[in-house]
Structure formats: structure tokens, C-alpha cells
Amino acid sequence: MSMRSRIAVIIAVLITVVGMMSLFIVDEREKVLVLRFGQIKQVKTDPGLGFKFPWLDQVVRFDDRILSLETPVIEVTPADDRRLEVDAFVMYRIADIVQFRQALGAGGEREASIQLNDILDGQIRAVLGADGVTSNAILSPERSRLMKSIREAAQVRAKDLGLDVVDVRLRQTNLPEQNFDATLQRMIAEREREATDERARGREAAQRVTAVADRTHEETLSAAKRDALIIEGEADAQRTRILAESFGADPEFFDFYRSLAAYEASIKAENSTLVIPPDHEFLTYLQSAAPRVAN
Amino acid sequence: MADNNGGPWGGGGSGGNKGNNNGNGGNDRKPDGPQIPEIDELMRRGQEQLRVLMGGKGGGGGGASGDGGGAGIPRSTFLFAGLAAVVMWLFSSFYTVKPEEQSVELFLGEFSQIGTNGLNFAPWPLVTYEKFNVTTNRSESLGLNDSRESGLGLMLTTDENIVDIDFQVVWNIKNAADFLFSLKEPEASVRAISEAAMREVIAQSELAPILNRDRAAIEANVRQLIQITLDERKTGISVIRVNFNKVDPPSRQVIVTAADGAQKRVSVIDAFRDVQAAEQERDQRERQADAYANQRLAEARGAAAQIVEAAEGYRATVVNAALGEASRFTAVLKEYQVAPEVTRRRLYIETLEKVLGNVDKIIMDNGEGGQGVVPYLPLNELRKTPQGGSN
């Protein structure tokens, strides 16, 4: 290979290398600052191909996606003086990379999250501790309005950092340790009340049912006895009527006939001894055969 | 081959140490003697072709070729390297997208299109691509740790009760481009958004409905809330469902002082279970009372029936007896009326016969002195003595 062609190759390689070094690609997910000796030369926020001076210019890339931040748990005191432990989840993005770079320097996202955390800490305390915001409000549909106002308040301050706070969501809103136990105790007491009530109502119902049963028992039996007496009375009355109808046909003969039957039934060997005078009518013929019927 | 390649490249760089190069080649040939001539042959052929292709320059090269045949070897190697590079390039520029996947193509970093299923062409380095599995469901489980420290799982309700919730969020990617460009940490964000949504919904509900009937409604609400939040940010994520794994009162034990002053360790879930036990107990008592009532009432009905039936029996007895007696009297009376005098005497005599026939009797004159004697008669002894004697 000749010298010339070798030189040509070397030059081609050099051009390629320099060309490559003066080109850069901005990804859809990024925004880019081109710095020359620390001075901002270019701001490229649209994806595509960019140009820079090789060696002199430095490309600094920033994430254009939504970044997230989870704040540590802080204790806030709402207007009703009941303390709540609160933490939040924040979604933000780097809106203005020039301001971002100027405010945070080379610290980048790490520094941003530290500063944003401080901002949120303050704003959460401010919003949830404001007048009229009670813990009941935090535990109610008010919550989303409160989250919105935290976001707006944080937004204003984050703007100085070149950040856009997209969303703030309260995650935990829990009770501090000592209130937590007290709440559990209260919940237990409520359940105990319910359990005791259930048991008492059970006994009440049982007693009620038993008493009703006993009462019905007595009622049924006494009604039956009453009916029985009525039936017996009717029976006696019927007997009296039947006998009276029959005996009434000849009262004198009834008297005679029934008396005889009564003597027969009542005068028994076991319980009676009769003392009979010899001149008793029955014994007339023991003494004489003279007829007595004739007269 | 790699050694041979390395040699010529190095030679090209250093510019004309062909003797050295050849020497190296000679050294190399010794171990793999049989193969090298063939390779040399191939290279020579390639060199010839290259010369033809290069035309005029080939002539110049021809002049230079007097320096040694070795100068041809780097050129053919160039060709191979070029071919290999083309193959490599093609290989990295074509890619397949499986049915369950979507790819996102970026032209110089700018979003250009979504890759379709099958073979796709993305000429490197102008076009880059990323592939995602879009149909597979991903799931995030939240609140599986019931510890106070993490705060996970324990949530405060609007009536200031605490509930222990574990749940799962199932999601997939509905738009690969949005998914790629919106969130830096999609999984973590989905988790955090889900937790925030669940806590928000729980913070607006009361405890009792959460534990009982509202689970499905809460699942739907939370899913909707997560989806709205994700859609506001164009995350390209679709929440398929939210499942509760556990919705319970907290199981943490606390010391409770009972009404009688005794202290015991109880957890809320125990207290809830005790309520259930109490409900069962109540039910049991009510049923037992019902059983007692049924027994008492049946007893009463039985006894009542017996009493009434006994009375009816009495009625039958008495009435029938009366009817019989009446009928007998009527019959006797009818005959008596036919011959009253005789019948009367007969009845009288027959009755006395029966009465006196069976009875102890003393026939005693009741004349003048009789009045005085009767009171002194030992009537009881008179009656008993014969009986004692018979015994």
C-alpha cells in the first residue's frame, strides 16, 4: 500500500472520529445541556441528533421521565391536636434543566431529591397543620383536596429548582405508637361491648322464650281443666234431666222403688246389724197365718 | 486466523515491516502446517479479485507487490472483516418481536414507531429499539408485612379504627412507548401509587363495611383510582385488578384492663372472634330456649287432651248410666201399673229378703221394757264377736 493511501485512511479515520465526537444523540427519555468550560452553550430538550465541539463541549444528560420520591415518615399535628404519622409519595420531573443545573450544580438528581424532600417536609406540615384541618379531615374525602394543596405549595417552591411536582400522594396516615395502642384498646373495648351485648341478648331471648313457654303450658292445662269441669257439669245435668223425666212419671212409685234399691245397696253384711222387733211387718207371718192384706 | 488478522492489521499500522510480518507468518505455519497453504491460497485468490476490483489502483499495488506476496493478505482480510461487520450489523439490526411483545423504535433517540410482531428492521446505530412483554401480567404484593415499623398493611379508617390489609395489584403494559418514556422506576411507582390509593380509599371508609360487604367495591375503587393516577401521567400501564389477600383487624396484642380490674393481653382480632363466638352463643341459647319451649308446649297439649278426654269419658259414663237407670225404672213402672198391689208387695218382700238375708240381725221384743233395754245393748260387740269367732 502506498503512502498516500495510508495517509488517506488515517485522515478518513480521523474525520470519522472527530465527526463522531461532535455528534450526540438525545434520547426520548432525556434532556441535554451542552456545557463548554462549565458555561451552558446549548439546551436540547427534543430528541434527535445534536452537534457540539469535540473535546471542548461536555454533554450533560438529565432524565426527562417522571422521577419518584418517597418521603420519610414525619409526625404532624392537625388542628385537633391528635398526632398523625404521615409519609408521602411524590412524582416529579425535571422541567427546566437550565434552572435545575444552576440551582443544584453537579449534584443532579440526588441533590434534587434531598432538597425536594425538605420542601415536602415543610409543606406537608404546613398544609396538614393548618387551621381547620383536623385529623378527621385527613381521614375523609378531604384527603385528596389536601394532597392537591400540598402539591401546589410544593410546586411553587420546587420551581426554583427547575422541578415540576407532578403529584403528591399521602401514603401512611397512621397513629403514633402510644395512640396506636390506645386505638387498639378502644377497638377491643368496642368489640367486648358488642360481645357482651350479644350474650346478654341471647340470655334475654332465651328467658323470654322459656317464660312464654311456661305460661302457655299453664294456660293450656288450666283451659283443659276448665273444659273438663264444664263437660262434667253438662254430664251431671243431663243425667238429672234423664232421671227426672223418667222418675217423674210416678213419683210415689219412684219413692218406693228407689228406697228399696237404696236399702239393698246400703244395708250390707259387713257394716250392718239390724235389730228387728218381732212385730215388724216382715215378720207378721212368723206369728200368725192370718191374712193382713184383706183390710 | 485471528493471529493472521492481528498480524496484518498491526503491519498496516506500523507501515511496511513486511519482512517481520512474513517472519511471523512463517512462525505460525509450523504448528498447523497442513491448513495454512489452503488459507494462503484463499487469500491469494481474494487478493487477485481485490486487484481486479481496484482497477488502476491495482496497478499501483502491483508495483508494490514486488515487496512481497504478504502485502495481499491484509487486503483480503479487510474484505472478510468487512463482510463480518456487515453480517454483524445485519444481525444486530434485525430483530423479532414475539406475539406477546411490543418493541419501541427510536430513530436517533426520537420515538419513531412501535415494532410489529415478527421480523423488524432497525438499522444500527441510527435506530435503536427496546422490547417489552406486554401481555404478561405483572403483580405487586403490598402490605404483606404486618409490622408496626414498616407501617405496611396497617391502615387507618375514617372512624379511626385500624385494619390490616394485604393486597395485590396486577398490571400490564398497554402502551409500550408511554411505558418506556414516562416513569423512571415503573414497578416502584406502581407500588407507591397503589399503596397511596388503597390508603386513600380505606381512610374514607368505615371499618365494619371494609371487613364485611364492601370488599369488592373497595377493590374496584382502588383499581380505578390507581388507573386514573397512572393515566394522568401517561404511563402506558393498565391495572387489571386489585385483589385483597387479607382484610383483618390487627393481630397485635395490647394489654386490656377488664371491668373487674384483671389485666390480660388481647388483640383486636381476638376481640372480633369473641364477638363471633358471642353471636354463636346467642344463637345457641335461643335455640335451646326454643327447644325447651317446644317441649313444654307439647307436654301441655298432651296433658290438656288427657284431661278433656277424661271429662268426656265421665260424661259418657254418667249419661249412659242415667239412661239405663231411667229405662229400667220406666220398664218396671209399666208393669207395676198393671198390678200395683201385688207388685208393690212382691218388691217389698223380695228386697227385705235380700237385705235381711245378708245381714246380721237380732229379733228382739220391743214391748213395754224394751225402751229401757236397748240403750244398753253392746251393739258393737254383738256385731264383731261372730266375725272374731269365724276368724
DSSP code of residue B375 = G
Q: Which residues of A touch B374 (CB under 8 A)?
A: 275
- Residue-range definition of the domain harbouring residue B297: 266-308
Distance from CA of B330 to the nearest CA of A (A): 6
Q: Containing H/E element for A186?
A: helix A177-247
Same domain, yes or no, for B8 and B83? yes
Among B138, B139, B162, B143, smallest CA distance to B153 is for: B143
- Pull the grid cell for residue B188: 416502584
B323 compared with B77, residue with greater pLDDT? B323
pLDDT computed for residue B327 by the predictor: 92
Q: What tens-digit pLDDT sequence spans chain A (295 residues)?
A: 578 888 999 999 999 888 888 888 888 888 998 988 888 888 888 888 888 888 888 888 898 889 989 888 888 888 887 788 888 999 998 999 899 988 888 878 888 999 999 999 999 988 888 877 887 888 888 888 889 999 999 999 999 999 999 889 888 888 887 778 888 888 888 889 999 999 999 999 999 999 999 999 999 999 999 999 999 999 999 999 999 999 998 899 999 988 988 888 888 777 777 777 777 777 778 777 777 654 4
- Cα–Cα distances (Å) from A138 to A69, A130, B157, B361, in that order, read 21, 12, 10, 117
A257/B332 Cβ within 8 A: yes
- B231 and B143, same structural domain? yes
Q: What's the pLDDT tens digit per position in B311-351?
A: 999 999 999 999 999 999 999 899 888 988 888 888 888 88
Q: Which of B142, B151, B95, B83 is nearest to B123 (CA)?
A: B95
Q: What pLDDT, on the 0 to 100 scale, is given for residue A206?
A: 94
Listed residue (A44, A24, A96, A46) closest to B110, CA to CA: A46
* CA closest to A241 among chain B residues: B322
Kindly report the three-state secondary structure assignment for every residue of A79-118: CCCCCEEEEEEEEEEECCHHHHHHHHHHHHHHHHHHHHHH
Q: For residues A217-234, b (16+ Cβ closer than 10 Å) or e, as one string?
A: beebbeebeeebeebbee
Q: Is the domain of B57 the same as that of B112?
A: no
Q: Are residues B45 and B71 in the same domain?
A: yes
| pLDDT for residue B86 is more than 50 | yes
Nearest to A209 among B57, B229, B289 (CB): B289
Residue-level pLDDT at B358: 77
Question: Which of A1, A120, A267 to substitute to test the interface with B, most B CBs within 10 Å?
Answer: A1
* CATH code for position B205: 3.30.479.30
Tell me, yes or no, whether B356 lies in a domain.
no
Whether B151 and B244 share a structural domain: yes
Q: How far apart are CA B229 and CA B195, in angstroms?
A: 12
Look up cell 260424661; give the residue.
B315
Task: Looking at the complex, report in whole angstroms how far the Cα of residue B207 sits from the nearest Cα belonging to chain A.
Answer: 10
Instruction: Please give the pLDDT value at position B122.
Output: 81
| One-letter amino acid of A174 | N
SS3 category, B82: helix
Give how far Cα B268 sits from Cα of A188, A280, B211, Å.
Answer: 5, 107, 13
**Per-residue model confidence (pLDDT) at position B12:** 38
Of the candidates A6, A89, A238, the beta carbon closest to that of B322 is on: A238
- The tens digit of pLDDT for each residue in B141-197 reads 887 554 444 445 688 888 888 888 888 999 999 888 888 888 888 888 898 889 889
Alpha-carbon distance B8 to nearest alpha carbon in chain A (angstroms): 12
Residues in A touching B110 (Cβ below 8 Å): 28, 46-48
Question: CA nearest A71: which of B163, B143, B196?
Answer: B196
The reply to whether B117 and B157 lie within a common domain is: no
Q: A236 to chain B, minimum CA–CA distance in Å?
A: 7
Q: pLDDT > 90: what percent of chain B? A: 19
pLDDT at A92: 92
Contact A66 B189 (CB under 8 A): yes
Distances in whole angstroms, Cα of residue A286 to Cα of each of A260, B7, B348, B363: 22, 183, 17, 11
Distance from C-alpha of B92 to C-alpha of B227, rounded to nearest angstrom: 37
**Which residues of chain A does B250 touch, with a Cβ-Cβ cutoff of 8 Å?**
184
Looking at CA atoms only, how far is residue A146 from chain B in angstroms? 12
Residues 177 through 216 of chain A touching chain B, CB cutoff 8 Å: 177, 180-181, 183-185, 187-189, 191-192, 194-196, 198-199, 201-203, 205-210, 212-214, 216
Whether residues B148 and B218 share a domain: the answer is: yes
In a domain, B333, yes or no: no
Sequence spans of domains, chain A: 3-63, 67-174
Q: Which residues of chain A are within 8 Å of residue B155 when distances are taken between CB atoms?
A: 174
Average pLDDT over residues B293-305: 93
Same domain, residue pair B142 and B67 = no
Chain B hits for A16, CB-CB cut-off 8 Å, are: none
DSSP assignment of B99-122 equals TTEEEEEEETTEEEEEEPSEEEE-
What pLDDT is stored for residue B376 in this prediction?
A: 56
Last residue of a domain, one of B93, B125, B154: B93
Quick check: A237 contacting B, CB < 8 Å?
no
* Optimal mutation site among A165, A253, A266, interface B, most CBs of chain B within 10 A: A253
- Mean pLDDT across B56-79: 54
Among all residues of chain A, which has the CA nearest to that of B263? A185
Residue A202 has its nearest CB partner, among B275, B282, B314, at: B282
Cell of A262: 237404696
Predicted local confidence at residue B65, as pLDDT? 41
B257 within domain boundaries: no
Task: Work out how many domains chain B is built from and give that number.
Answer: 4
Distance from A89 to chain B by nearest Cα, in Å? Answer: 6
Size of interface A-B (CB pairs under 8 A): 351
Whether B124 and B199 share a structural domain:
no
**Most confident option among A12-26, B39-53, B350-364:** A12-26
Among candidates B184, B293, B316 on the partner chain, residue whose Cβ is nearest the Cβ of A210? B293
Domain check: are B111 and B79 in the same one? no
Chain A residues within an 8 Å CB radius of B361: 273-276
B143 lies in the same domain as B112: no
**Confidence band (pLDDT; 50, 70, 90) for B378?**
low
**Does B203 reside within a domain?**
yes
Contact B184 A267 (CB under 8 A): no
Residues in B closer than 8 angstroms to A135, CB to CB, are 160
Of A30, A174, A246, the CB nearest to B154: A174
Instruction: Report CB contact under 8 Å: A29, B333.
Output: no
* Residue A19 touches partner B, C-beta closer than 8 Å: no
Between B202 and B13, the higher pLDDT residue: B202
Closest CB to B322: pick one of A27, A239, A250: A239
Other CB atoms within a 10 A radius of the CB of residue B337 amount to: 12
For residue B315, the chain A residues in CB contact (below 8 A) are 231-232, 234-235, 238
Mean pLDDT for chain B? 76
User: Which residues on B lie below 8 Å from A245 (Cβ)?
Assistant: 326
Q: Contact at 8 Å (CB) between A295 and B386?
A: no
Residue B263 in this model has a pLDDT that exceeds 70: yes
The predicted pLDDT at position B19 comes to 39
- The confidence band for B8, taking pLDDT boundaries of 50, 70 and 90, is very low
Q: What are phi and psi of B164, to 5 degrees?
A: -105, 115
| Shared domain check, B240 and B142 | yes
| CA-wise closest residue to A71 among A169, A158, A174 | A169
Question: What fold is seen in the domain A67-174?
Answer: Tetrahydropterin Synthase; Chain A (3.30.479)
Residues of B in Cβ contact (< 8 Å) with A293: 341, 345
ipTM: 0.71
